[in-house]
Amino acid sequence: YEITDEFYKKSTPNHEPFNQKSSLERDKYLELIDKAITQITNEKLEKVVLSRKIYIGAEQIKSEDVFKRLLYKYPNSLTYFWHHPKVGTWLGATPEKLLSLKNANFSTMALAGTQILKPEGRIVWEEKELKEQQMVANYLVKVLNKNKIEFKTLKTRNLKAGNLVHICTDIKGKLPKEVSLFKLVNCLHPTPAVAGLPRQDAIDFIKSNEQYDRSFYTGYLGLINKNEEAQKTTDLFVNLRCMQLKNQMAFIYVGGGITKDSNPANEWKETEAKSKTLISVL
């Protein structure tokens, strides 16, 4: 669809968001981070990604305008508008590629660490952020080696996404015939960038402590072309920076990686920074 089609115009006029609250308010979220750090200090976990859901009263959202503003604010991300009658409308803009595949050539990325993009453009990463991103890169390398997949790791770079910047390491390679697309996807996802390490222990901690259902947040989405034999293509992205519009409410999902070096107050600020762009498009 084009964004000018009738599909996008069946919405009510603009309305300022109001009645904002969170699935975990600040004090409770800081307590959860402290609990995670204790688990990490006791060597139960190496890293865990914690998140929260922000509820915003949004009775009269004009979806077409929201989507246009997302496109403008995230020019270098996968920006999407998706609707299903049973689950509502989802919009998002994610910079994190899970897997791109063209014929047998694939690429993925290790993305972690977050800073607000400063006007002067100077970016200095702390040791905590560098270590966190290296965990993700090491995990991807381990998965690829385990599946005997040839690859090369490119130079680590900064990746801009809206008003934020992340640390990114691109990985490219060739998928052997004996490894299917979905086998590789299932091995990769969820990465430490959205779950943690060890993976299953982190998932168990999240399920027991986050106190809400992530739904499609931190899942993956994208396009798969399986019919064109001459050129099979796939582009899958991790569902970050996303919101759900349903029942006159906007639900915004934000999170961050927790390690032994995390500062709870700073982690809260990071989730606030991640939410600001999405709130602004409402």
Model confidence band, residue 230 (pLDDT cutoffs 50, 70, 90): low
68-72, 84-88, 169-173: least confidently modelled range: 84-88
pLDDT at 277: 82
Q: What is the pTM of this model?
A: 0.87
What residues are paired with 222 via a beta bridge? Answer: 236
226's CB contacts (< 8 A; 6+ apart) are 232
Q: DSSP letters along the chain, please?
A: --TTSHHHH-SPPP---EEEEESS-HHHHHHHHHHHHHHHHTTS-SEEEEEEEEEEE-TT--HHHHHHHHHHH-TTSEEEEEEETTTEEEEEEE--EEEEEETTEEEEEEEEEEEEPPTT------HHHHHHHHHHHHHHHHHHHHTT-EEEEPPPEEEEETTEEEEEEEEEEE--TTS-HHHHHHHHSSPTTTSEESHHHHHHHHHHHS-S--TTTTSEEEEEE-S-TTS-EEEEEE--SEEEEETTEEEEEEEEEE-TT--HHHHHHHHHHHHHHHHHH-
**Does the pLDDT value for residue 51 go beyond 60?**
yes
Within 10 angstroms of residue 280's Cβ, the number of other Cβ atoms is 12
Sorted by where each starts, the structural domains of the chain and their CATH numbers stand as: 6-281 (3.60.120.10)
Q: Do 53 and 211 form a contact (C-beta atoms < 8 A)? A: no
* Residue-level pLDDT at 16: 45
Query: Residue 72 above 80 pLDDT?
Result: yes
